[in-house]
Amino acid sequence: MSEQETGAQEGFGVSLPPNARLSGMQFDDGAGVLKVSFSDGGDRTVKPDDVIALHGGRIRHEQVVSSPRKISGAQVFVAETVAGSTGRAVRSSGGELVATKEDLHFALALRVTGVGELWYLLADSFNFRKALGPDAGYSTEINLRALVRKLADFAPRATQDGFFTAVVGGLPLPPPVGSLLEFFRTVSKDLT
């Protein structure tokens, strides 16, 4: 993370742990190493015992999908009922109706021995084809789950958080967090 980005975050009272965003991974089974690529350039190779912790999470993202409009009391009831059955949230205050859509985005993070940064990836912009090769599909969530299992197999001694444990064990995922910042805080708290 650049000094300019860190300064801008501190100006808003936001403090992120040192981090570096991953753009790709490549498992070299023959050599028994993992090569990671960073979004700001550069590569690094790590051995299985270098990976000390594996973290994952879902990040909730809510967006407005319709503009506010005035509705009556009966219309509020109908709109909230329809929204509940379609998975969209509806907010009504002062007679205004606003429909929102909630999406869940996935993030993974690695802690590596001798590295002061948290290495993380956001699944929506990650190159799964490079990491999974011919096993990569067209579903982000399926690719992410495959990558989690592959990372867990690569670094079996690494500490795994509840997200990794759930994916590897075929269990329900932990609740989503509200932001990438909250994900970073959760990962940092797990280290203390």
Whether residues 127 and 169 fall in one domain: yes
Query: How far apart, in whole angstroms, are the C-alpha atoms of residue 37 and residue 16?
Result: 21
Domain boundary among 39, 71, 101: 101
pLDDT tens-digit series, residues 173-188? 999 999 999 999 888 8
In the predicted model, is pLDDT for residue 13 greater than 50? yes
In the predicted model, is pLDDT for residue 79 greater than 80? no
Whether residues 89 and 124 fall in one domain: no
- Residue 3's pLDDT is 44
Q: How confident is the model at residue 5 (pLDDT cuts 50, 70, 90)?
A: very low
Whether residues 127 and 184 fall in one domain: yes
Element housing 26 (H / E): strand 19-28
Whether residues 85 and 130 fall in one domain: no
Whether residues 95 and 167 fall in one domain: no
Q: How confident is the model at residue 4 (pLDDT cuts 50, 70, 90)?
A: very low
Domain boundary among 101, 118, 153: 101
In the predicted model, is pLDDT for residue 78 greater than 80? no
- Residue 2's pLDDT is 43
pLDDT tens-digit series, residues 149-168? 999 999 999 999 999 999 99
Domain boundary among 81, 101, 121: 101
Whether residues 33 and 82 fall in one domain: no
- Do the Cβ atoms of 132 and 147 come closer than 8 Å? yes
pTM of the model: 0.75
Range of the domain at 94: 63-101
Number of structural domains, the chain? 2
Whether residues 83 and 169 fall in one domain: no
